[in-house]
Amino acid sequence: MLTAISMSAIATNGVVPAGGSYYMISRSLGPEFGGAVGICFYLGTTFAGAMYILGCIEILLIYIVPAAAVFKMEGLEGAEAEAALLNNMRVYGTIVLSFMAIVVFVGVKYVNKLALVFLACVILSILAVYAGVIKTSFDPPFFPVCLLGNRTLVSKGIDICAKTIEQGNATVTTKLWRAFCDSEFLNATCDEYFTNNNVTQIQGIPGVTSGILAENLFSTFMEKNTILEKRGVPAVLDPEAPVTNSNRYVLADITSFFTLLVGIYFPSVTGIMAGSNRSGDLQDAQKSIPVGTILAITTTSFIYMSSVILFGACVDGVVLRDKFGEGVNGNLVIGTLAWPSPWVIVFGSFFSTCGAGLQSLTGAPRLLQAIARDSIIPFLRVFGHGKANGEPTWALLLTACICEIGILIASLDAVAPILSMFFLMCYMFVNLACALQTLLRTPNWRPRFKFYHWALSLLGMSLCLTLMFLCSWYYAIVAMVIASCIYKYIEFCGAEKEWGDGIRGISLSAARYALMRLEEGPPHTKNWRPQILVLMGLDGEQSVEQPRLLSLTSQLKAGKGLTIVGACVEGTYLNNQPQAQTADQSLRKLMEVEKVKGFSQVVISSNLRDATSHLIQAGGLGGLRHNTVLVSFPKNWRQAEERHRCRNFIEVVRETTAAHLALLVTKNISAYPSNGERFTEGHIDVWWIVHDGGLLMLLPFLLRQHKVWRKCKIRIFTVAQMDDNSIQMKKDLMTFLYHLRFDAEVEVVEMHDSDISAYTYEKTLVMEQRSQILKEMHLTKNEREREIQSITDVSRGSIRRKNPSNLHPQRSIAEESVGGSEEKPEEESVRLSRPRQVQLIQGKNATPTPTSPTSPIAPTPAAVSPGEEVQMTWTDDVEKPNNPAVVNPESMKDMFNMKPEWENLNQSNVRRMHHAQELNGVIVKKSKEAKLVLLNMPGPPKNRNGEENYMEFLEVLTEGLNRVLLVRGGGREVITIYS
């Protein structure tokens, strides 16, 4: 009834065409659930039709016309008799199935006419049972049962229910005596139980007024091979004596218990979906399905429950528990009870099974046709075709073939429990669909049927699931595995439908809830993961220029973060919207090929630079936004027609820096491996020049999770200056990597500070960011000291504390004097600026001695042409010359807001940059054969005059390396050893 209520609510929430329960589930829970449950329900209905036909034939050959058997059963016993019966059922079952299939093929109206005849016979048989119950109150039928003591005897081979009889003046033994004694004489040795107990004959159907109901009211479960005994009858029994002549008693053939009996009884009530399966043939399905189903369940429930009570009130318990009627000579109990004749019950049962089989053959093809027409399972599409009036011809043919397989099996005892699981699974998902739609409260959920509630639906779903495991837990698991396989197949092959189902509604609600939670604040540093915005270039036909960029994105998928693939179309939205759609399709197709799970976004703008800026600013939604930008280094940027790519690239670097986003720049992207390639050996080299504590360490770990890079080893080259404690630094880093569970080799490379002068600003900025991040992580002082950001400072400072005389502030050459320096010689300006820089770092890090140099040394004279100064450092633009030793908050803020300046450099000079060449030489020497080199990326130039020089510096820095990934941190990414 709970399922019928849920189904009524779904059926009245819109038009229900053909498909019935499948249509309701698929439109409520999605094509995957609908198809999986629909196929299982179809198979259950089809094999149920085979069982109904076999039951029809069994009644025909055993009770109506036994002489019609093709394989004679007279004189056969045991397995031979059973084999003959099964063969007869195969022959006659095929004939009946063919006749029924023809009737269904001719048209459903003929099925309905036959259904009325069958229904009339069933109603008459039910009325006959009630009439027989009434008759037992004043004239119960003669239905004897023979007992020995309290044990029920098998009636076969017994002529008289007595040990002896009087014939004339002599006492003569009966067949019962001979069954328990070694001879027919009165002095024979007999069974001890037979000798000690009397033989009595009781009435098997004592009648409704006999008071037998009180005895039958409570359950009596029996173990296998237990003798059927009557309650309340005295018996003399030696508990220690073994049971002899057990074949003379009625025995239980199975161990009975509540859940087993539920499983046996349940298939008799699985027809509640018969009406909904024919929803396409109903004039008003929204009205007929609720009214017809609920009234049918109410009527049948009353008949079932009243019949159980009346049978318990009329029939003795030993007869009710005699499964095969051995104690009553195989006579029909209900047939004997019915009035006026047992034949009413026989023919009623025969036509009931015929009608049920015909209904199954009518509903199952329509269910299959509905599934096939939805095209969710590709190979079933042919069964969606039929006659001009919509009759499912091909689906009927397949249904008949499957039904014939069941008939040829003949004995479906092993299959029947799975079929019950299929029915229960269907009912469970109908309840789930109603509960889901009610709880989601979607705007389109407006059923006309108002007598439903989500709690009732959840209760019905829980009861169905409980019944599945109560009846047979292993068959329940088998049914679920079958349904799961069908679900995954539909998901893989054919689930391309969007029906606005409840599962999508759950996804939408869950996504909205998650986004609202993320909106509360930025993620904690320990929850940081790369959420990547991939900036793709398009050609004139809106095709992707560099597909390997998506290959790299796919190889980073172990980060489990958001991926947005963005592209730009130049023009206006009104004129270029078709090109944007074409570009979006190209992106989606390539994402599918490269197995990139994410979203595509195409922006139309009047120029590509603004479009890229829009993607960086507006990508993502709420708290689920990108924190990393992946872009390729522009090729041929020196050519005049490609200069716009160079400018766009510089703007991307500037904007990601301003937005505090991490930046990944791929150099030589065409040389990167595709997802189909495999590196069987090699190294991923990380050049850790700026100890930013995060992204450079994480990226190689993520890459190694992918099969392309799995066999590559990681090498970390950390750069130390000449006055650093390199040995201690290597030891500390190896310990840190051990705690991080990173398997990597560590090598410390000592370099002059001037060789890494381009990174000086980065190191200064990182110290500021590091201090803030460690505060946000809420670590203790000891924990902070164990973080990698502190390790390098300690290692760097240890040797300086031992050798303070080695601490020589390094010079910074400025293109022009800092405010007011016109009045001072250049040497004095440099001299005054040195202590200020040291004090600023002390103020920011709260340490009494400087822990890292902040100003690069000037280039060697060989690298600078006369009159041309190579400016690769950052200067304080607002330094006041009057009080250089005074430190105030504003001056410290200015120090960390300094920007790099790449000025007064032309292309030929950049090619000869001494510092870039020195650094590149060290990297090439160590990592020339590496499969991938990861390198810190210097910051962008402050002025546009230095853009070309900045690009030249990057070219020189990466020259001679095959694959390079330049990494620029955004300031929020941190790898920590703490969970």
500-535, pLDDT tens digit by residue?
555 676 777 777 777 777 765 566 666 678 889 999
Spatial separation of the C-alpha atoms in residues 164 and 186, rounded to whole Å: 9
pLDDT of residue 85: 87
Cis peptide before 850 (omega within 30 of 0): no
Q: Mention every residue, 6+ apart, whose C-beta is less than 8 A from residue 567.
A: 535, 536, 537, 538, 544, 583, 584, 587, 600, 601, 602, 603
The pLDDT of residue 156:
87
Q: Residue 931: is its pLDDT beyond 90?
A: yes
CA distances from 601 to 129, 141, 533, 552, 628 (A): 72, 83, 10, 18, 16
Q: Are 700 and 686 in contact (CB under 8 A)?
A: yes
What's residue 798's pLDDT? 46
Q: Which of 519, 536, 523 is nearest to 621 (CA)?
A: 519
Domain assignment of residue 286, yes or no: yes
pLDDT tens digits for range 394-403: 999 999 999 9
For 67, the token pair is 């002489």
In this structure, the dihedral spanned by the alpha carbons of residues 582, 586, 589 and 590, taken in order and rounded to 10 degrees, is -170
Of 135 and 388, which is predicted with more confidence? 135
* Burial class for 459, CB neighbours closer than 10 Å (0-12, 13-18, 19+): middle
Mean pLDDT of 415-421: 79
Nearest 5°: CA angle at 608, between 605 and 613?
80
- What stretches of 676-787 show up as alpha helix (H) in DSSP? 695-704, 726-739, 760-776, 781-786
Give the residue numbers spanning the domain of 237: 144-203+222-255
Question: Is residue 130 in some structural domain?
Answer: yes
Tokens of 913: 């940059």
**In residues, how long is the chain?**
979
Residue 715 lies in a domain: no
For residues 176 and 300, state if they share a domain: no
What pLDDT does 753 receive? Answer: 63
pLDDT in tens, 111-125: 888 888 998 999 999
Residue 549 pLDDT class (50, 70, 90 cuts)? very high
854 is written with which tokens? 């902040």
594: three-class secondary structure by DSSP: coil
Mean pLDDT computed over 238-255:
87
Average pLDDT for 916-932: 88
Q: How far apart are CA 536 and CA 549, in angstroms?
A: 8
- Measured CA to CA in angstroms, residue 529 lies from 206, 239, 513, 740, 789 at distances of 80, 75, 20, 16, 19
Residue 860 has pLDDT above 60, yes or no: no
Q: Is residue 68 part of a domain?
A: yes
Q: Indicate whether 164 and 226 sit together in one domain.
A: yes
- Establish if 979 belongs to a structural domain: no
The Cα 76–Cα 815 span in angstroms is 116
Within 804-931, residue ranges assigned H as helices are 826-845, 889-896, 907-911, 914-927
Mean pLDDT of the chain: 79
**What integer pLDDT is reported at residue 758 of this predicted model?**
56
Q: Which long-range contacts (CB under 8 A, 24 or more apart) does 251-254 make?
A: 251/225, 251/226, 251/227, 252/222, 252/223, 252/224, 252/225, 252/226, 252/228, 252/321, 252/323, 253/224, 253/323, 253/324, 254/224
Q: Which residue has the higher pLDDT, 376 or 878?
A: 376
* pLDDT at res. 822: 36
Q: What CATH number is associated with residue 450?
A: 1.20.1740.10
Q: What are phi and psi of 290, to 5 degrees?
A: -65, -50
Average pLDDT over residues 969-979: 65
Instruction: Please name which of 687, 684, 709, 712 lies closest in space to residue 554, comparing C-alpha atoms.
Output: 709
Element (H, E) at 906: none
> Domain tally for the chain?
2
The pTM is what? 0.64
Residue 847 has a pLDDT of 34
Three-state DSSP state, 626: coil
pLDDT band at 863 (very low <50, low <70, confident <90, very high): very low
Q: What is the mean pLDDT of residues 313-327?
A: 92
Q: Tell me the HSE value of 47 on the side-chain side, using a 13 A CA sphere.
A: 23
Q: Report the percentage of the chain scoring pLDDT > 70.
A: 79
Q: Which of 366, 466, 463, 472 is nearest to 38 (CA)?
A: 366
Higher pLDDT, 884 or 291: 291
Residue 31, judged by CB atoms within 10 A of its CB (0-12, 13-18, 19+), counts as buried
For residues 336 and 446, membership in a common domain is answered with: yes
CA atoms within 13 A on the CB side of 886: 7
pLDDT of 861 above 50: no
Same domain assignment for residues 84 and 157: no
Number of helices (H), then strands (E), belonging to the chain: the values are 32, 15
The bridge status of strand 563-570 relative to strand 662-667 is unpaired
Phi, psi for 141 (deg, rounded to 5): -70, 155
Distance CA 95, CA 878 (A): 103
pLDDT number for residue 938: 84
Do 363 and 479 sit in the same domain of this protein?
Answer: yes
Of the candidates 41, 432, 424, which has an alpha carbon nearest to the alpha carbon of residue 267? 424
pLDDT(497) > 70: no
Does the structure show a pLDDT above 80 at 870? Answer: no
Collapsing DSSP to helix, strand or coil, 659 comes out as coil
CA–CA dist 755, 857 (Å, integer): 9
Are residues 238 and 324 both part of a single domain?
no
Question: What local confidence, expressed as pLDDT, does residue 523 receive?
Answer: 66
* Closest to 604 measured CA to CA, from 596, 615, 595: 615
Q: Do 184 and 299 have their domain in common?
A: no
Report yes or no on 524 lying in a domain. Answer: no
Do 100 and 158 belong to one domain? no
Contacts of 907 (CB under 8 A, 6+ apart): 638, 948, 952
Of 430, 461, 493, the residue at which a domain comes to its end is: 493
Mark which of 462, 493, 524 sits at the end of a domain: 493
Last residue of a domain, one of 478, 493, 508: 493
**Per-residue model confidence (pLDDT) at position 146:** 94
88-to-66, 98, 348, 361 alpha-carbon distances in Å = 11, 16, 22, 22
Lowest mean pLDDT segment, chosen from 50-64, 401-415, 658-672, 807-821: 807-821
On whether the CB atoms of residues 275 and 288 are closer than 8 A, the answer is yes
**DSSP letters along 820-837, please?**
TGGGS-HHHHHHHHHHHH
- Average pLDDT (536-556) is 87
| 84 shares its domain with 148 | no
Q: In Å, how far are 15, 31, 116 from 376, measured between CA atoms? A: 20, 7, 36
Q: Are residues 430 and 452 in the same domain?
A: yes
| Residue 840: per-residue pLDDT | 27
Residue 154 and residue 39 in one domain = no
Q: What was the pLDDT predicted at 784?
A: 53
φ, ψ (nearest 5 deg) of residue 241: -80, 135
Please give the pLDDT value at position 456: 94
Higher pLDDT, 513 or 235: 235
Contact 299, 126 (CB under 8 A): no
- Structure-model confidence comparison of residues 585 and 742, the more confident one: 585
Q: How far apart are CA 639 and CA 480, in angstroms?
A: 64
Q: Is the pLDDT of residue 853 over 50?
A: no
pLDDT at 169: 82
> Residue 754 falls within a domain, yes or no?
no
Answer left, alpha or beta for residue 241, where phi above 0 means left and psi between -120 and 50 means alpha: beta
Which of 636, 561, 551, 541 minimizes the C-alpha distance to 593? Answer: 551
Q: Of all helices (H) and strands (E), which one includes residue 600?
A: strand 599-605
Do 400 and 478 share a structural domain? yes
How many Cβ atoms are within 10 Å of 136's Cβ, its own excluded?
21
Domain-embedded: residue 277: yes
What is the rounded CA–CA span in Å between residue 594 and residue 676?
Answer: 10
**22: part of which helix (H) or strand (E)?**
helix 21-29
